[in-house]
């Protein structure tokens, strides 16, 4: 494990880095060039220039697409060089992360008890596993549940306790997905950025769940020239901008930012709500404001961003509660800014420790790319997309139902039922197991039984969706539609629900109604190639050849592997 070293800052204009963004771009391009165009296909600037805040895109090459679920990354910054550096390092972060997980030699696969015997006194405390899902289960019961499946153990750096510990890394990946992954000009820079993003996700989850009254930051009091220039760009274009203190007592500051353009909303722009966390309030605010620019499409491009850390408002009345709170200046916010990144990292780790939290980091640097990358996690910090009903049993049950051999899964679910006798996730996972085993009829019945037991609308919607999924696997398309209607009514922000209902209606030859479902799916994810292709097929059947060609061309451009779309497009263009 590489030692962390003093890391003086070499660039502090709009972010705190080891070196200038121009140097970062040069280093990253040289690293990617060793793979030809396999990892990096291209970078390009994609903002319209209206705000003058640059946004860059980095497109994945063929080698990267083999292991990454995304095809492009976005980069932001107050200068073109910083925005391009951001896009390049985002690609380095993601590619390194997925390469790491696709390399079995990085892991030791053991049960919990086996790991405790293999490394006595060196395994992450079980209390930290329970803290990661706020579960009050006894330690013996937790150990029994952790032994139901094997885990992929790696050696991790515990920056709070100052030691190395063996951790079941796939447990934290199941909780956090790739949130917490990071890259930088060195390990220290990378880990600090990843840790700040974890704090950002946590406070945003708290805001989303509890909506505390938080201070409003006075825009007239801003004296940093870079930040003031960014804010002036919004004011110049008549765009409403609101900055909030979302720090919520954490050791590093988080600035919440909301913006919308009354002149273009809702026809060609959206209300954008995001946040930024950094060592200082100024850098946190710059991060938040440039993130708005990245998501907003200059408030004139009919962009459709996907909400993640914070919810998405559809009207100004939705964010009225954010206008409450006392007015403050940035100077009133917490901060750990120092001249050395390692010192800041130590302050953040100690600050988290004072709250009973530990910062962990695993190095994921690609061996040939050699751009520092990490996967970071803090057991006990929240994540908005993680269910508020999380428990040890819930996530182990999911692993059993989705991944374990059927006999092991069935036994494990019986064990979970003993520890969580009233938990609605047990019948849900029994249904998932039946579906995986191909018993579609039993799965549909089990999902129907589980649905009324589930605690919230999102979980009920998922059970309704899976009832439909089980039915369509048995070609019962008409029977699936009422369940999809219910799923959409309960949770109208999931594109997959609209997609499957659209397919069901297409099968019934109700092409106009199917088209509306695919349009609804695209309103949630404008980059869904499959929904674009399906919409094109609907217009083809409706006798709208021009629209069919438009949507099919858009689909094939996004995903050249959609053979059915390419074949029908060729037919419409007379190229068969």
Residue 575 has pLDDT above 80, yes or no: no
Q: How confident is the model at residue 308 (pLDDT cuts 50, 70, 90)?
A: confident
- For residue 360, the model assigns a pLDDT of 99
CA distances from 129 to 55, 112, 164, 488, 568 (A): 38, 11, 16, 34, 51
Residue 64 has pLDDT above 70, yes or no: yes
Residue 576 has pLDDT above 60, yes or no: no
- For residue 103, the model assigns a pLDDT of 97
Q: What is the DSSP string of 215-254?
A: PEEPGGG---HHHHHHHHHHHHTT-EEEEEE--TT-SS-E
Contacts of 172 (CB under 8 A, 6+ apart): 132, 180, 360, 375, 377, 379
Phi and psi based region of residue 299 (left: phi greater than 0; alpha: psi -120 to 50; beta: remaining): left
Tell me the three state secondary structure of residue 310: coil
CA distances from 516 to 267, 506, 564 (A): 18, 11, 21
- For residue 204, the model assigns a pLDDT of 98
Question: 285-301 pLDDT, tens per residue?
Answer: 999 999 999 999 999 98
Dihedral over Cα of 258, 294, 182, 125: its sign = positive
Query: Domain map of the chain by residue range?
Result: 21-104, 392-572
Tell me the three state secondary structure of residue 154: strand
Alpha helices by DSSP H, 34-135 = 62-65, 80-101, 112-118, 126-131
Q: How confident is the model at residue 107 (pLDDT cuts 50, 70, 90)?
A: very high
Q: What percent of the chain has pLDDT over 70?
A: 100
Q: What is the DSSP string of 370-425?
A: ---EEEEE-TT---TTS-TT--HHHHHHHHHHHHS-HHHHHHHHHHHHHH-TT-TH
63-72, 272-281, 299-308 — most confident range? 272-281
Over residues 246-275, the mean pLDDT reads 97
CA 5, distance to chain mean position in Å, is 30
**Mean pLDDT, rounded, of the chain:** 96
- For residue 188, the model assigns a pLDDT of 99
Question: 309-322 pLDDT, tens per residue?
Answer: 899 999 999 999 99
- For residue 213, the model assigns a pLDDT of 98
Do residues 97 and 363 touch, judged by C-beta distance below 8 A?
Answer: no
CA distance 293 to 75: 10
- For residue 526, the model assigns a pLDDT of 84
Only one residue has tokens 């932001």, namely 76
CA distance 443 to 426: 13
CA distances from 60 to 23, 67, 88, 225 (A): 21, 10, 10, 35
The dihedrals phi and psi of 250, each to the nearest 5 degrees, come to -80, 160
- For residue 443, the model assigns a pLDDT of 96
Do residues 198 and 179 touch, judged by C-beta distance below 8 A?
Answer: yes
- For residue 7, the model assigns a pLDDT of 98
Query: Fold for domain 392-572?
Result: 1.25.40
Q: How confident is the model at residue 386 (pLDDT cuts 50, 70, 90)?
A: confident
Question: 453-506 pLDDT, tens per residue?
Answer: 998 999 999 999 999 999 999 999 999 999 999 999 999 999 999 999 999 999
Phi and psi based region of residue 365 (left: phi greater than 0; alpha: psi -120 to 50; beta: remaining): beta
- For residue 241, the model assigns a pLDDT of 99
Residue 307 has pLDDT above 70, yes or no: yes
- For residue 385, the model assigns a pLDDT of 81
- For residue 318, the model assigns a pLDDT of 96
Question: 199-226 pLDDT, tens per residue?
Answer: 999 999 999 999 999 999 999 999 999 9
Alpha helices by DSSP H, 420-509 = 425-436, 440-450, 457-472, 477-490, 495-507
CA 277, distance to chain mean position in Å, is 16
Classify domain 21-104 by CATH number: 3.30.160.20
CA distance 326 to 119: 52
- For residue 398, the model assigns a pLDDT of 96
Only one residue has tokens 């015997």, namely 117
Question: 521-560 pLDDT, tens per residue?
Answer: 998 888 899 999 999 999 999 999 999 999 999 999 988 8
Over residues 323-347, the mean pLDDT reads 98
Dihedral over Cα of 81, 84, 86, 89: its sign = negative
- For residue 574, the model assigns a pLDDT of 86
CA 31, distance to chain mean position in Å, is 26
Over residues 435-450, the mean pLDDT reads 95
Do residues 80 and 52 touch, judged by C-beta distance below 8 A?
Answer: no
- For residue 516, the model assigns a pLDDT of 98
The dihedrals phi and psi of 73, each to the nearest 5 degrees, come to -130, 150
Over residues 362-380, the mean pLDDT reads 98
Tokens matching residue 414: 């019986």
Contacts of 362 (CB under 8 A, 6+ apart): 154, 155, 156, 157, 167, 169, 374, 375, 376
- For residue 196, the model assigns a pLDDT of 98
Nearest to 36 by CA among 62, 57, 56: 62
Q: What residues form DSSP beta bridges with 508?
A: none
The dihedrals phi and psi of 242, each to the nearest 5 degrees, come to -130, 130
Work out the burial of residue 258: count CB atoms within 10 Å of its CB; fewer than 13 is exposed, 13-18 middle, 19 or more buried.
Answer: buried
Phi and psi based region of residue 172 (left: phi greater than 0; alpha: psi -120 to 50; beta: remaining): alpha
- For residue 527, the model assigns a pLDDT of 84
Over residues 177-196, the mean pLDDT reads 97
- For residue 388, the model assigns a pLDDT of 85
Do residues 334 and 253 touch, judged by C-beta distance below 8 A?
Answer: yes
């Amino acid at each position: 494990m590489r030692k962390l070293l003093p890391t003086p800052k070499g660039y502090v204009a709009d972010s705190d880095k080891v070196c200038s963004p121009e140097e970062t771009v040069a280093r990253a391009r040289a690293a990617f060039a060793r793979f030809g165009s396999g990892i990096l296909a291209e970078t390009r600037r994609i903002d319209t220039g209206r705000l003058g805040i640059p946004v860059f895109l980095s497109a994945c090459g063929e080698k990267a697409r083999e292991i990454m679920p995304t095809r492009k990354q976005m980069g932001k910054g107050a200068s073109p060089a910083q925005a391009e550096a951001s896009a390049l390092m985002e690609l380095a972060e993601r590619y390194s992360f997925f390469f790491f997980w696709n390399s079995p030699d990085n892991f030791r696969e053991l049960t919990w008890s086996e790991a405790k015997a293999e490394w006595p006194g060196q395994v992450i405390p079980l209390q930290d596993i329970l803290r990661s899902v706020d579960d009050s289960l006894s330690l013996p019961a937790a150990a029994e549940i952790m032994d139901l499946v094997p885990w992929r153990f790696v050696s991790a750096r515990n920056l709070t306790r100052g030691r190395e510990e063996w951790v079941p890394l796939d447990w934290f990946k199941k909780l956090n997905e790739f949130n917490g992954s990071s890259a930088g000009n060195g390990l220290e820079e990378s880990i600090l950025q990843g840790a700040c993003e974890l704090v950002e996700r946590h406070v945003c989850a708290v805001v989303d769940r509890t909506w505390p009254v938080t201070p409003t930051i006075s825009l007239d009091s801003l004296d940093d020239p870079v930040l003031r220039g960014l804010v002036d760009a919004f004011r110049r274009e008549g765009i409403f901008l609101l900055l909030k203190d979302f720090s919520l007592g954490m050791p590093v500051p988080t600035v919440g930012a909301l913006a919308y353009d009354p002149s273009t909303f809702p026809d060609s722009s959206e209300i954008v709500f995001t946040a930024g966390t950094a060592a200082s309030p100024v850098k946190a605010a710059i991060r938040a404001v440039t993130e708005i620019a990245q998501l907003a499409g200059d408030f004139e491009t009919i962009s459709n961003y996907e909400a993640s850390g914070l919810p998405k408002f559809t009207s100004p009345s939705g964010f009225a509660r954010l206008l409450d709170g006392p007015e403050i200046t940035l100077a009133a916010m917490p901060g750990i800014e120092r001249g050395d990144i390692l010192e800041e990292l130590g302050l953040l780790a100690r600050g988290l420790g004072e709250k009973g939290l530990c910062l962990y980091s695993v190095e994921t640097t690609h061996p040939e790319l050699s751009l520092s990358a990490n996967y970071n996690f803090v057991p006990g910090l929240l994540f908005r997309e993680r269910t508020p009903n999380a428990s040890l049993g819930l996530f182990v049950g999911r692993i059993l139902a989705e991944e374990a051999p059927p006999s092991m899964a069935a036994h494990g679910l019986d064990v979970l039922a003993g520890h969580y006798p009233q938990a609605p996730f047990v019948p849900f996972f029994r249904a998932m197991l039946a579906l995986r085993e191909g018993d579609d009829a039993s799965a549909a019945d089990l999902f129907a039984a589980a649905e009324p037991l589930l605690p919230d609308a999102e979980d009920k919607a998922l059970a309704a969706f899976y009832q439909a999924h089980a039915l369509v696997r048995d070609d019962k398309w008409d029977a699936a539609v009422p369940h999809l209607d219910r799923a959409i009514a309960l949770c109208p922000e999931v594109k997959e629900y609209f997609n499957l209902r659209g397919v069901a209606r297409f099968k019934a030859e109700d092409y106009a109604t199917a088209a509306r479902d695919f349009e609804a799916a695209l309103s949630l994810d404008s980059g869904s190639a499959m929904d674009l292709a399906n919409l094109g097929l609907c217009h083809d059947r409706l006798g709208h050849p021009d629209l069919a060609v438009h949507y099919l061309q858009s689909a094939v451009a996004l995903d050249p592997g959609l053979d059915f779309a390419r074949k029908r497009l060729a037919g419409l263009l007379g190229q068969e």
